[in-house]
Structure 1
Amino acid sequence: MKPGLLFIATMLSLLTACQESPSGRSQLALLPDSMMDELGQEAFAEMKRQQPVETSPAVNAYVQCVAGHVIDAAVRVYPPESMPESWEVVVFDDPQPNAFALPGGKIGVHTGMLRLAQTPDQLAAVIGHEVAHVLADHGNERMTQQLGIQSVLYVVGFFSEGEGQRLLMEALGIGSQLGIALPFSRAHEREADLLGLNIMASAGFEPQQSVNLWRNMAAAAGGQPLEFLSTHPAHETRIERLQEEMEVALKLYQAATPASCAG
């Protein structure tokens, strides 16, 4: 086969290869996990160079405690191959209420989020949701969806490292200005809500507090665009869906050892 035809055939085979997310949803995610992990680690290192890091031992111990319980539960609930081998958790001194998780086992929580997530259970809902985005490979999937053939070209080395980091950050919902969150798709948000709810409950955090968290978010956001104008689900819709899944989450919570992290 001629080189050009071989290249096209390879691209088509990649584009038709599908996988399943942890919830069983079919997805197309073309970039190798090792590449996503490397980009996540590089992006996180750049964040730590650019943003001030919270130095309070009490605040760091609190966030590390909650994150540790959530990560341990995620390892128990989902196959080991879905999880990074280790995780790094950093609290950034930033008033923006934001949190994120990157491929390669990196979690960032802004001090501003700690004012909205008022209890350990609510913080667990935030971190569980963000870890779920990584478990479900949403960044990889969104890069594939948004960039199409460009993402495949990146796989074979046509994009520079800097360009790859920029595309990764956009795909993971982090804007060019650090701390500015861009929305995942509604399907990704719904899946992260469900997976995160089960993770936090399995970690021993009270799942009903996820609803209280989003009520806090709604109050802080004030007016929000109509749902059909936004890729994020409306707060009311998100709360309704969480409540629909609460019976299963409560059973997981009742079977778990209660988590204890002083806020």
Structure 2
Amino acid sequence: MVAGLSLSGCETNQTLGRSQFLLVDDAALEQSAAAAWQEQLKTAKISKDPVLNKRIQTVGARIAAASGLGASGWEYVLFQDDQPNAFVIPGKKVGINTGLFKVVKNDDQLAAVIGHETAHVLGKHAAERASQQMAAQGVLGAAVGATSGNTQKAISSYGGLGAQLGLLLPYSRKHESEADRIGVDLVAKAGYRPSAAIEVWQNMMALNSGAPPELLSTHPSDKTRIKDLQDYIAAKGYK
């Protein structure tokens, strides 16, 4: 069954330059993720800091315009949370913690973070990750190639996964590396400084001196990301 799903669920992502295993259509994914976003808005504390909110809206708008996904429909919310983190869920919903500003010192660095999250959308990483998980469990079956409604039912049947997409499913190291590179391209296109992405991870490394070894994490280590970003920025001729 899984082998059959693989054959019928592959398509080429031009941004990534590779084929992807996608069993979930965008409409179903966004509908499923909307519940998680609404729950987050209800339960989490939202920051009203006027300066930080203006910054994320301004920088976010420029990155969105550079993405080619359209400037409308994006939602950027600042959460009162000390963890230096940001996330994106399907439907152009981006969450940024106030704690992120412990490692983000200027708008170029903020653009690097928002560019990275936007890159996950361009890369359809949430859909790919969900599809891999579902196929491993044999959940979708006949829903492959079916209507959005049928796909939605299949998503919902997967232990509530649909209601938590983007918040609980971690991206793979491959996804994170792709988002780093695409994010740098978006930063450059939006008129920000690409090398700021390196600075973000240098700041993160300084903050997380006791971070777990790379083998114990789904994300590349800060050192690995810094080296990969340095190589990519140099290869592209960015500053």
In the other structure, the counterpart of 1:16 is 8
State the number of aligned residues: 228
Q: Within the alignment, does 1:117 sit opposite 2:70 as a pair?
A: no
Q: Within the alignment, does 1:37 sit opposite 2:26 as a pair?
A: no
Choose which of 84, 91, 94 in structure 2 pairs with 1:107: 94
1:184 touches 1:231 (CA, 8 Å); kept in 2? Answer: yes
1:100 touches 1:107 (CA, 8 Å); kept in 2? Answer: yes
In the other structure, the counterpart of 1:211 is 198
Pairwise CA distance, 1:191? 0.5
> Hey, which bits of structure 1, 4+ residues long, moved more than 4 A?
151-154, 248-251
Q: Distance in 2 between the 1:159 and 1:89 partners?
A: 26
In the other structure, the counterpart of 2:153 is 157
Q: Within the alignment, does 1:53 sit opposite 2:46 as a pair?
A: yes
Query: Tell me, which stretches of 5 or more residues in structure 1 are unaligned?
Result: 1-7, 176-181, 254-263
2:29 touches 2:162 (CA, 8 Å); kept in 1? Answer: no
How do residues 245-260 of structure 1 correspond to structure 2 at under 5 angstroms? 245-247=232-234, 249-251=236-238
Q: Within the alignment, does 1:69 sit opposite 2:62 as a pair?
A: yes
How do residues 192-203 of structure 1 correspond to structure 2 at under 5 angstroms? 192-203=179-190
Higher mean C-alpha displacement, 58-67 vs 154-163: 154-163
In the other structure, the counterpart of 1:178 is none
Query: Tell me, which stretches of 5 or more residues in structure 2 are unaligned?
Result: 144-149
Q: Distance in 2 between the 1:19 and 1:59 partners?
A: 39
Q: Distance in 1 between the 2:5 and 2:130 partners?
A: 17
The percent of aligned pairs where both chains have the same amino acid is 37
Pairwise CA distance, 1:225? 2.8
2:29 touches 2:90 (CA, 8 Å); kept in 1? Answer: yes
How do residues 178-197 of structure 1 correspond to structure 2 at under 5 angstroms? 183-197=170-184
CA separation of 1:98 and 1:74: change in aligned 2, threshold 3 A: same
RMSD: 2.5
CA separation of 1:143 and 1:151: change in aligned 2, threshold 3 A: farther
Pairwise CA distance, 1:41? 2.4
Q: Within the alignment, does 1:225 sit opposite 2:212 as a pair?
A: yes
Q: Deviations over 1:200-248 (max 9, x none)?
A: 1111111111101001111111123332332211111111111111135
TM-score normalized with structure 1 length? 0.78
Instruction: Please give the secondary structure, in 2, of the residue aligned with 1:101.
Output: strand
Q: Distance in 2 between the 1:70 and 1:249 partners?
A: 19
TM-score normalized with structure 2 length? 0.85
Instruction: Please give the secondary structure, in 1, of the residue aligned with 2:160.
Output: helix
Q: Within the alignment, does 1:143 sit opposite 2:143 as a pair?
A: no
